[in-house]
Amino acid sequence: MARRSAPLLRRLVSSAPPLPGHGGGARRTVTYMPRPGDGTPRPVTLIPGDGIGPLVTGAVEQVMEAMHAPVYFESYDVHGDMPAVPPAVIESIRRNKVCLKGGLATPVGGGVSSLNMQLRKELDLFASLVNCANVPGLPTRHQNVDIVVIRENTEGEYSGLEHEVVPGVVESLKVITKFCSERIAKYAFEYAYLNYRKKVTAVHKANIMKLADGLFLESCREIAAKYPSIEYNEIIVDNCCMQLVSRPEQFDVMVTPNLYGNLVANTAAGLVGGTGVMPGGNVGQDHAIFEQGASAGNVGNDNLVEQQKANPVALLLSSAMMLRHLQFPSFADRLETAVKRVIAEGKYRTKDLGGTSTTQEVTDAVIANLD
């Protein structure tokens, strides 16, 4: 049987179309094999939010419709000055598992607590991920920057445990637990392993906060020992900030407690084009919320809203992350490629990237560049 099959096998191999790079035209390769039913459109909870939020989420809706992405949105009106996230919104995210969100304004000083923090705690979105990388076509001081900041999202200085001891004396508690430190460290090393990253850097201030940040470092070291193929090192947060602005290319994956991660992610974003082009998301065991990666400027200002000139790129790229999370990789690739083409061409850019385009003009350009 084997001898009779050999000539047939040789004929099939010799007549097969050439592989890309081996002569002849390129052919589509199998990159993702869906399970039956994977093409069913998925519901996504949408929170347009405050300020520029409705502008940039509206851009995402237009692009998704133009490329017939297998998602549809359940939109809810939520604003940062509300006393709490409406229960119907929480229930929608629990049911759909995925949410796309514009910025929610958080009052400074007195007033209501942060709805962003409420969402993270309510849904246990313990990991924030921001990818800060050079974008082709955007000139920056530093090249070869590709940093992923993974931030613990539920405790630390953001625990919200503050009280006035006596008039004029306020106590704010920083809570660090073994459980949360271990799971964020594990997530960072899993991310590095699955994405073929070479190094994980833990950011800390254990020279001063010896117990709290010391516990965080101890947890990171224990997890690092389980991933011998990934380099692990540590850096004090103030030195980290200096190194970021002088030699950012040395960093790969960074894992941080809550407050440091916010500072590091926004600093890194500023090195490679600003917060308007950096995607990100928050993920837990069962749910995920995708939004602009770095928090600075995610609500914008009145002028941007009035002139309709908010930059939609960050949320469009975050939407590509969302599509991959939903296991729609080809749609994610199409969206990301179109956005990067528009940036590289340089014809349509908003003010933060040195242009004069409106949100709608950038959105139309992305749609025109969809394959």
Average pLDDT for 42-58: 95
C-alpha span between 284 and 101 (Å, rounded)? 16
Distances (CA, A) of 118 to 62, 72, 83, 173, 183: 29, 25, 10, 18, 20
| Domain architecture of the chain: domains with CATH | 39-130+277-370 (3.40.718.10), 141-272 (3.40.718.10)
Confidence of residue 194 (pLDDT cuts 50, 70, 90): very high
Report the pLDDT value the prediction gives residue 114, as an integer from 0 to 100.
Answer: 86
Distances (CA, A) of 230 to 65, 176, 196, 264: 41, 25, 9, 21
Task: Give the closest residue to 281 by CA, choosing from 310, 312, 318, 307.
Answer: 318
Report the pLDDT value the prediction gives residue 29, as an integer from 0 to 100.
Answer: 61
**What digits encode the pLDDT tens for the residues 162-184?**
888 999 999 989 999 999 999 99
Report the pLDDT value the prediction gives residue 97, as an integer from 0 to 100.
Answer: 97
Average pLDDT, the chain: 89
Confidence of residue 159 (pLDDT cuts 50, 70, 90): confident
User: Which residues lie closer than 8 Å to 195 by C-beta, 6 or more apart?
Assistant: 148
Q: Helix, strand or coil for residue 371? A: coil
For the entire predicted model, the pTM comes to: 0.88
